[in-house]
Structure 1
Amino acid sequence: MSKLGIGLIGCGNIAMTYLRNARLFAGLEPRACADALPAQAALRAKQYGVRACTVEALLADREIDLVLNLTVPAAHHDVTLAALAAGKHVFTEKPLALSAEAGQELVAEAKARGLALGSAPDTFLGAAGRLARQLVDGGAIGRVVTGTAFMMGRGMEHWHPNPAFYYQAGAGPVLDMGPYYLTMLVNLLGPATRVMAMGTSGSEERVITAPGPLHNTRFKPETPTSVLSLIEFASGAIITFGASWDVHRHSNANIELHGTEGSLRLPDPDTFGGTVSLSRRGDGWEAVDTADRVYGAINWPYEQPDRANYRMLGVADLAAAVAAGRSPRASGSLALHVLDILAAILRSGENGEAVDIATSVDQPPVLQEDEAAAFLARTP
């Protein structure tokens, strides 16, 4: 497979993870980077041996086959649309856009131009997600009837020096962290059809306690900081999803699925590895650590690794998809459906009514172990 020339737009902290991980994959070659702050692009270029340039120059560069959109969420739509208009494949960080309507425009544009569109999260392609899919598809817990998914924490202001953007409309715990949980659920259960939700906020103002120039200042959240929802899937399963930045400590599992033959417990879907546990007909949990599987080995943070982070795996699959003439697994269509679900959760929380999901999507094809390993240029 020939190398796919990659140009990054957006050179913040997440760019370091993508550029570092790119060396793991055989079909990828980062070649250029651009940022609204030229000094930031120059820094990443020096660190990772790529060219720094303007956004306009990157989009016009014939050596760039794919644009990796790592800008802030509010810019995702416009940058992706410009890249598609320039004839580039695109892989964007989540969310695909700030609204389902804007996301639909991107999916339609990519299809009309015959270009591949992919979107984070790609964590469901990691070792834990693949094992969970294998167990669910293999009938290990029978037909999934119900389950829970919880993303709960204190928020960002205790560690981030300027966290207000996390609490703006278009962000919040649902749109910022929800994509990891819902993408995993759609991967395991298929598309959702309807949601009901309620939302609230723990406080009218948040206090920044992290060190920095804004220490001890306050800001007002513009979106609910706690939302509980009930999601109905086309398969018949009903899942409770809770997302909150008002929780100091809890004991809820990240994701649990309960079926006619048993139960399945998944690790944090914001990581590629972790322990998957299976209970057969109420027996004790059988725990399987995925650290010895492809994309399950602990490798991040770089200095003191405690989890698996293989961001760029979805880009590697997209490169293989382009070569094979198929759709990428972490596709724009999958990201659009997840965005539609999350937007419906927020809408239901506002109006107190059930909301039907307008879009649908097929479950991503299973990423087999040999295919996953074939993406690698070297062992992680």
Structure 2
Amino acid sequence: MSPLRVGIVGTGVISRAYLGHLDNHGRDGGLALTAVADLDPERAAKAAAGRPGVHVRTPEELYAADDVDVVLNLTIPAAHTEVAHAAIAAGKHVYNEKPLALDRAAGAEVLAAARTAGVRVGCAPDTVLGSGVQTARAAVAAGHIGRPVAATAFFTTPGHEVWHSDPEFYYRPGGGPLFDMGPYYLTALVHLLGPVTAVTGAASRPTDRRTIGSGPRAGHTFSVEVDTHVTGVLTHASGALTTLLMSFDTHAAHLPRIEVHGTGGSLSVPDPNGFDGPVALHAAGTGEWRQLPPTHGYRVAGRGTGLADLAAALAAGTAHRASGDLALHVLDTMQALLESAATGRRVEIRTECAVPDLVPGLVG
């Protein structure tokens, strides 16, 4: 198949990971980078440097370009929907960094616009397509833990200002531990246990200001506009219950990333912010954990694997796995958790999504 031609809008920190994957595995994965754009032209020029055939354009020029088939939207969360709508209006497919949008209504509008235009929407995270979560999912599907009944999911850190030189956007709408890291965990949980039907949540914001800890702006303080400690219980359509904790207020913890518990055993799932990692099974009655060999997922995976999966799906006429529908369901679940925290009531999830197909064996 001809490579899907990619134009990147937003060449900040996360673009480095995507650019590295495209450099090493782009054409093998059916992708060809042709253009980059950023509000800072110098930053865009740095991204294009040393990459033959990659043009520096304004965002408007990139949307209109004949050599761009899909817009890879790596802007900050507050700009995700604006860029997605511009790309769709130009007849381009779009692949967003997470989250899909700042709220479910805006996310639904992006998907509706794409359906009208006849283009596709993909969205990170694609880490769940690596051998870690896919091997764990295959083990659950094979019945190795019996019927799944519960899961735990924990993300704990003191906050991104410890290491990031420009961390303010993590503490504005679209950020916080839930919207920043929650998509990795919630997307993995949908793969493992199916969609969510209702949530009960609680949240807090222990401090209204944070201090940058590294880089040229170290010592600078800024305001916190979102809750930084979010916890809750998710009810899945399968009947399984997940206990979730997402925190920027935890300095140290001995908590698993994700564990899934069933009637016949327990499964330890690796960090969903990575593509691989050990999957361990504790079958009932064995008294020990046993590491499982990788069995499913993309072997050569990195940021952009979901975009390559979209390219392959377009060529085959099948559904892509890192889909807009899944991203909207995750967004709906996150928003519902915050609504539940604010009201003290259980909140029903409004959206539905199909569980993406399991990656068939080890691919690539």
Partner of 1:131: 135
**Structure 2 Cα separation of the partners of residues 340 and 293 of structure 1:** 28
Runs (4+) of structure 1 exceeding 6 A deviation are: none
* Correspondence list, 1:62-101, <5 A: 62-101=66-105
Task: Please say if 1:350 is aligned against 2:310.
Answer: no
Q: State the Cα distance separating 1:293 from its structure 2 match.
A: 7.7
Q: Using the alignment, how far apart are the partners of 2:72 and 2:63 within structure 1?
A: 11
CA contact (8 A) 2:135 2:296 kept: no
Query: Counterpart amino acid of 1:325?
Result: G
Q: Which moved more, 1:204-213 or 1:249-258?
A: 204-213
Q: Classify 1:208/1:167 alpha carbon distance in 2 versus 1 (closer, same or farther; 3 Å).
A: same
SS in 1 for 2:282: strand
- 1:48 is displaced (CA, Å) by 2.8
CA distance in 2, matches of 1:327, 1:110: 15
Partner of 2:14: helix, strand, or coil?
Answer: helix
Task: Report percent identity of matched pairs.
Answer: 45
Superposition map of 1:51-200 within 5 A:
51-200=55-204
Compute the displacement of 1:282 (Å).
4.5
Cα distance in structure 1, aligned partners of 2:249 and 2:68: 43
What per-residue deviation string (whole Å, max 9, x for no partner) do you get for residues 114-135 of structure 1?
2111000011100111101110
Find the residue that maps to 1:135 and give its secondary structure: helix
- 1:294: Cα distance to partner? 6.2
Partner of 1:48: 51
**Alpha-carbon shift at residue 296 of structure 1 (Å):** 5.4
Partner SS for 2:160 = coil
**How far off its partner does 1:85 sit?**
0.7
> How far apart in 2 are the matches of 1:161 and 1:237?
40
- Structure 1: unaligned runs, 5 residues or longer: 298-308, 374-380
How big is the shift at 1:202?
2.8
CA deviation after TM superposition for structure 1 residue 147, in Å: 1.4
Q: Secondary structure at the match of 1:106?
A: helix
1:244 aligns with 2:247: yes
Are residue 4 (structure 1) and residue 4 (structure 2) matched?
yes
Would the alpha carbon gap of residues 33 and 357 (structure 1) be closer, same or farther in structure 2, given more than 3 Å must change?
Answer: same
Question: SS in structure 2 opposite 1:264?
Answer: strand
Matched, 1:310 2:282: no
Residue equivalent to 1:377: none
Superposed CA deviations along residues 104-158 of structure 1, whole A, max 9, x for unmatched, are 0111111122211100001110011110111011111111101100011110122
Number of aligned residues: 359
Corresponding residue of 1:233: 236
Matched, 1:276 2:279: yes
Confirm or deny that 1:288 pairs with 2:289. no
One-letter code aligned to 1:4: L
SS state at 2:25 partner: coil
Q: 1:221 to 1:33 in 2, by over 3 A?
A: same
SS of equivalent to 1:209: coil
What's the CA shift for 1:201?
A: 2.2
User: Cα RMSD (Å) of the superposition?
Assistant: 1.6
Q: Deviations over 1:2-37 (max 9, x none)?
A: 111111111112212112211314211001111111
Q: What secondary structure is seen at the aligned counterpart in 2 of 1:13? A: coil
The answer to whether the 8 A contact 1:230-1:239 is kept is: yes
- Give distance in 2, aligned partners of 1:28 and 1:227: 37
| Distance in 1 (alpha carbons) for counterparts of 2:89 and 2:72 | 15
Q: What amino acid does structure 2 have at the position aligned with 1:323?
A: A
**One-letter code aligned to 1:93:** E
AA in 1 matched with 2:3: K
Q: 2:308 is aligned with what amino acid?
A: A
Q: Which amino acid aligns with 2:311?
A: A
Quick one: distance in 2 between partners of 1:142 and 1:355?
Answer: 29
